[in-house]
Amino acid sequence: MSSHPCALSSATLTLTVGLSLCMPALAGTGTDRPEAVQPTTGTAAASPSADIATPQAAQNDGTTQLDGVVVIGQRYLPDYNVRSTRGATRTNTALLNVPQAVTVVTDKLAADQAMHSLGDAFRYMPGIGTAQGEGNRDTPVMRGISTTGDFYVDGIRDDVQYYRDMYNLDRIEALKGPNALAFGRGGSGGVINRITRAADGMEHRSGTAQFGSGLRRRGTIDYGIGIGDAAGFRINAVYENSDSFRDDAYLKRYGINPAFNVDFGGSTSLLLSYERFHDSRTADRGVPSFQGRPVDVDPSTFFGNPDASFATADVDAFDATLQHAFTGNLSLRNHLRWADYDKFYQNVYPGAVGAGGTTVTLSAYNHATRRTNVFNQTDLVWETSGMGMRHTVLLGSELGYQANDNFRMTGYFAPGANVVSLASPNVDVAVDFHQSATDADNHTTARIGAIYLQDQIEFSPQWQAIVGLRYDDFRVDLRNNRDGQVFRSRDHMLSPRAGLVFKPSADVSIYASYSRAFQPRSGDQLASLTASNAALKPESFRNREIGAKWDIRRDLQASIAIYRLDRGNVAIVDPNDVTRMLLIDGQQTRGVELGLAGRITDAWQVMGGYAWQSGEITTTQSATILKGNRLAQLPRHSASLWNRYDFTPRFGAGLGIVYRGALYANVDNQVTLPAFTRVDAALYWTVTPTMEVQVNVENLGNVRYFASAHSNNNISPGAPRSAWVTVNYRY
């Protein structure tokens, strides 16, 4: 065991009743882990042989320690829900008091379902879908808006296009609706914030080994110790070498994330973290469509050349977080993140199917991205009271610098070589890659300066409010390396936020909120500036939302949100003058989201939700994007529900249902992905106090379905029945 006096094993939970000496040290870690020391209360997940010990009453130095009881159990509780977040408000706030829809997937839920990717987690986030992302990147669809850049790590931007792993995560937060006050530009439909595992001074000694369908071979390690009285070290690592149900597809990745935390006397702490992550995989863009539906082929059929279709991403990131408490009511937090990204992908992929339905035309290109991000956030939080009200005042600033290089080449085929048979579209065809007249070769720099002010006001136990305003100075310079042209944009953006919360009882809240965010013309990936749009105002996104949250019990939460999201300043070509651009109100999304997470009983855990969403184009924008068209990748109905039930302290089972209604692959509404319902299951067996074996089966009924799309001719089939065995061990 660790020498740290407050060390806890990841396999056990220690609660001392009587005298607690560990809480100040935990508070000084600088992490948002309010649930880490919740007591276990005789659940089926608890150890069948819990130990009980009584501390020595008299110490050798003559001091007296109060008697206490130490209870050791297997898992922290609650497992599928959390009670507070820092991400939504930049202060540690109870979810019940946040006037915004928030869904959290915890590491425990991820482990129970053998989740590895963000796409797995999105299935259990109501109102969030997944686009294909051309087979090389995460692309959530939030409130009708797909994004490749609205990703954050511990509140700091992580906006390069790649697939993120979950090996080092404590949880994933989906913060829905625009929230520019906390996150700045973008975030038009919401943001995805990953909370990493920190060096918390506790003892962690665990790992997993997994194998199964698609030749999945994956292992992880989580090791942490306390160092002396006021420091901790933790390291998480992953290695995976897997195939796929798709012909000739593969996935290889590794990651390592060491972290160190030191507490300088209780009022000051420093958290240091470094991550090295590599992901290499087949860039798989799925199947084409014919006559308004995906083509009817075996789900394993690869279209294009898998040997020439691949994506690699390398990430090196360093984080330093310094916290200092001046007093019990005044604290400062500074977070510095430097990250270097190297991304490359190349694909030979399907285009349109021929009129006779027997051939398909292939296309090809590759794209390299190099980016360096440097961000620094400083938050000063002051808790005060006066005139019968309590205030939590946040004054903050963000400074950022991003340097980005893009280089794209088009693939060229010999005449007729790119037209292949629909019956055998997996081909080894020669492709010559070189730049076309319009392929990107540019260097972009972005400079960000922002200040923000927010006040969380408690008028009474029943009434609360949050009001705030952020100002961003966002400057982008894009140099076209091919002709030397330079395009510049200078945007000055004000992002307000206001919310009102009414609590008829301590465990129920009803809220209304308004927020606004902006997307500059440089786009998600800082590469969209042109001579015609550089001077245009940023796109705007306005969100109006009402909702309610209910803590049914301490470890069971329910929520409902009703929203309307309007997208404005959409740029289109003036139909009367093709040299001019017009700004219009472009689309509107309306929806209702329901969520449930936690424990129904001590032995029964659930996570799920339902969303009804309707989105449409409000002004004709081109010959194919017409007023009244439904938004792409937006099903009208979607739902999911996962259950885990522990029959005994050693045996449990899981059952999940995922439903997604029909949706359009593209905003032109020409191709439909049919609705589907998928059933998943799992079995859990605690073999010994240090080892658990679980079996996960996805798509138990072997349903044929299509999971996502990028366009009308890039549609990803869903996986057939698949099964994995995971050995979870603690040492």
Name the token pair of 697.
Answer: 């089966």
φ, ψ for residue 223 (rounded to 5)?
-130, 130
pLDDT in tens, 592-641: 999 999 999 999 999 999 999 999 999 999 999 999 999 999 999 999 99
Share of the chain above pLDDT 70, in %: 89
- Mean pLDDT across the stretch 327-356? 97
Sorted by where each begins, the domain ranges of the chain are 204-730
Q: What is the CATH number of domain 204-730?
A: 2.40.170.20
pLDDT band at 283 (very low <50, low <70, confident <90, very high): very high
The secondary structure of residue 59, as a DSSP letter, is: -
Write the pLDDT tens digit of every residue in 413-425: 999 999 999 999 9
In this predicted structure, the answer to whether residue 468 has a pLDDT above a threshold of 90 is yes
pLDDT at 325: 97
Whole-angstrom Cα distance, residue 564 to residue 561? 10
720, exposed or middle or buried, with CB in 10 Å at 0-12, 13-18, 19+?
Answer: middle
657: confidence class by pLDDT, cuts 50, 70, 90: very high
pLDDT band at 150 (very low <50, low <70, confident <90, very high): very high
pLDDT at position 578, please?
77
pLDDT of residue 39: 34
Q: What is the mean pLDDT of residues 705-719?
A: 97
Find all residues with CB under 8 Å of 354, minimum gap 6, and list them: 360, 361, 419, 422
CA distance 81 to 233: 26
State the chain's mean pLDDT as an integer: 90
pLDDT at 68: 43
Query: pLDDT, tens digit, for every residue of 211-235?
Result: 999 999 999 999 999 999 899 999 9
Count the Cβ atoms, other than its own, within 10 Å of residue 363.
18
**CB count in 10 Å sphere of residue 506:** 10
Residue type, 19: L
Compute the radius of gyration of the chain from its Cα atoms.
26
CA angle 717, 720, 723 (to 5 degrees): 135
Please give the pLDDT value at position 580. 86
Average pLDDT over residues 173-179: 94
Among residues 378, 465, 366, 359, the alpha carbon closest in space to that of 422 is found at 359
**Could you tell me what percentage of the chain is helix, strand and coil, using 3-state DSSP and rounding each to the nearest 5?**
5, 60, 35
Percent of the residues in the chain that have a pLDDT greater than 90, as a whole number: 86
CB 11 within 8 A of CB 690: yes
Which of 17-21, 476-480, 533-537, 623-627 is predicted with the least confidence, judged by mean pLDDT? 17-21
Say which range, 26-35, 168-177, 248-257, 549-558, has the weakest mean pLDDT.
26-35
Residue 52's pLDDT band, with cuts at 50, 70 and 90, is very low
Better pLDDT: 1 or 604: 604
In 137-263, where does DSSP find H-type helix?
180-183
> Residue 27 carries which side chain, given as an amino acid letter?
A
Q: Band of the pLDDT at 78, cuts 50, 70, 90?
A: low
From the list 270, 271, 273, the residue with the least C-alpha distance to 258 is: 273
Alpha carbon distance 9, 730 (integer Å): 9
Per-residue tokens: 675: 């609705």
More confident residue, 76 or 606: 606
